[in-house]
Amino acid sequence: ILNVEQSPQSLHVQEGDSTNFTCSFPSSNFYALHWYRWETAKSPEALFVMTLNGDEKKKGRISATLNTKEGYSYLYIKGSQPEDSATYLCAFIGYDSTLTFGKGTMLLVSP
C-alpha cells in the first residue's frame, strides 16, 4: 500500500470562507491524481483527473493544482457554501494502474 496522505482530516468553516486541503503522494511512479467529492448518502464522484505537473483544473468555485515533482496536490474552495460539505478524497494512480486513496478530508460548512 502506497502512502497517500490527506490533511487536514476534518475542517469546519463558515459560509463564505475560502479553504484548501492537501493531498501528498509518492513522487515516483506517478501516472495520475484524482479528486473525488463524497456527499453524505451518495456515491463518491470524480471532481478532477490530473496528469501533468503544473496542471491546474477548475470547476466553478473549486480548483486544484498538481506538483508531481514534490508529490502534492491542493484542492481549493473559494467562498464555501453549505452544499460544499462533503468528504474530499484524492487518489494516486501509478504506472501499474492501481488506485490508492487517501483517507479523505471531511469538510463542514456552516451557514
Partner 1 sequence: GAGVSQSPSNKVTEKGKDVELRCDPISGHTALYWYRQSLGQGLEFLIYFQGNSAPDKSGLPSDRFSAERTGGSVSTLTIQRTQQEDSAVYLCASSHPQTGGTEAFFGQGTRLTVV
Helix (H) or strand (E) holding 32: strand 30-38
Of residues 41 through 60, those in contact with partner 1 by CB under 8 A are: 42-46, 49, 51
Please tell me whether residue 11 binds partner 1 under the rule CB under 8 A.
no
Residue pair 33/93 in contact (Cβ under 8 Å)? The answer is: yes
Q: Which is nearest to 45 in space by CA: 110, 109, 89?
A: 89
Please tell me whether residue 74 binds partner 1 under the rule CB under 8 A.
no
Return phi, psi of residue 84, to 5°: -80, -10
Of residues 12 through 41, those in contact with partner 1 by CB under 8 A are: 31-32, 34, 36, 38
Contacts with partner 1 by CB under 8 A lie at 1, 6, 9, 31-32, 34, 36, 38, 42-46, 49, 51, 87, 89, 91, 93, 95, 97-104, 106
